[in-house]
Structure 1
């Protein structure tokens, strides 16, 4: 059995490594060793998370996926959450979250009946928390959209200013053929930004 810790934040500025010490302390208290950390800056509302799926591909049956909070794993809609759960079940990965005490027993060996009962209880609690964090995500996005709409109506919304210097560096990396993963690791940009800038590079090349 291996413990694999997953650390996620939406932006580079949020520092996905922030919870690393808490995960290490949790594992140490239970005599566990974290075999690897998987860190990325991606939205929890999307399944496009390379490090999460690299973690799952590295897993063996019975391994533990350790997270600080359920929302680090999922802010997904129902369909995507079911897809991720199915992947976890196929791999027989045990999810342990610091904010979900019912999952803590999953980190310790137990007899078969107890393990099955705890797995069933933990699955139910994961579903509940996943639904709660998704609702929180949707509510915040709705309030944000309402705020922007109000500012636009009042003529006060200027939008987010692009990071011109960073974008120029990303475009240069794209021109020389750097991989998306290396660009994201170096700049912390999102895949949507990278896709937009790649299209701009292609358009520039076509125009020359």
Structure 2
């Protein structure tokens, strides 16, 4: 069994590695070590994510997908959440989330008896669905509040949008100029694919 930690932040300005030490300590408390980290800056409301795809491709049946919270894995709608669960189950992964105590038994030893394991698995599956639904609602509520705030700011002439990270984008431009692949740039900077595309388009037009 390998423990594969997934860390995600929604925007390039956020630190996706923020919970890394907490996950390491959590795994150690349960007698485990994290075999690999998969870090990316992308919205949890997006199903297709390069970091998560790499985790699934690297995994083997019985491995653990370790997350800080269910919202780090999903802010998807119901249909996409079911699709993501299907992919995870197809790879034989077990989800362990720090905010779901019912999932912690998948890391611990000794293993519980069959009845207890099945009971906790059923409860854990239900709580995963509930927590994923709450995460989606939180995402939609936050988006609505942001849109309302932006609309008010625009009406009052105060909205200027998000400031550009000039230093990071200059570094991305330099990497593109040296022929680095987009995937390598994303891994090096932690930015999103959309950001690389924007810088690449600007460089081509220059």
Normalised by the size of structure 2, how large is the TM-score?
Answer: 0.88
The Cα offsets for residues 60-84 of structure 1, whole Å up to 9 and x where unpaired, read as 1111111111111111122221111
Gaps of 5+ in 1: none
The within-5 A match list for 1:37-76 is: 37-76=37-76
Query: Would you say the 8 A contact 2:56–2:91 is kept in 1?
Result: yes
- Residue 130 of structure 1: how far off its partner (Å): 0.4
The within-5 A match list for 1:1-208 is: 1-108=1-108, 109-204=111-206
- Residue 153 of structure 1: how far off its partner (Å): 0.8
- Residue 12 of structure 1: how far off its partner (Å): 4.6
Decide which structure has greater helix share.
1
Distance in 2 (CA, whole Å) between partners of 1:195 and 1:120 is: 42
Query: Would you say the 8 A contact 1:170–1:183 is kept in 2?
Result: yes
RMSD, aligned α-carbons: 2.0
Q: Which has the higher contact order (CA 8 A, sep 6+)?
A: 2
- Residue 157 of structure 1: how far off its partner (Å): 1.1
Distance in 1 (CA, whole Å) between partners of 2:58 and 2:121 is: 21
SS at match of 1:17: coil
- Residue 128 of structure 1: how far off its partner (Å): 0.3
Normalised by the size of structure 1, how large is the TM-score?
Answer: 0.87
Inter-CA distance 187–105: structure 2 relative to 1 (3 Å threshold): closer
Count of aligned positions: 204
Gaps of 5+ in 2: none
Inter-CA distance 153–51: structure 2 relative to 1 (3 Å threshold): same
Distance in 2 (CA, whole Å) between partners of 1:125 and 1:170 is: 41
Greater CA drift, 186-195 or 164-173: 164-173
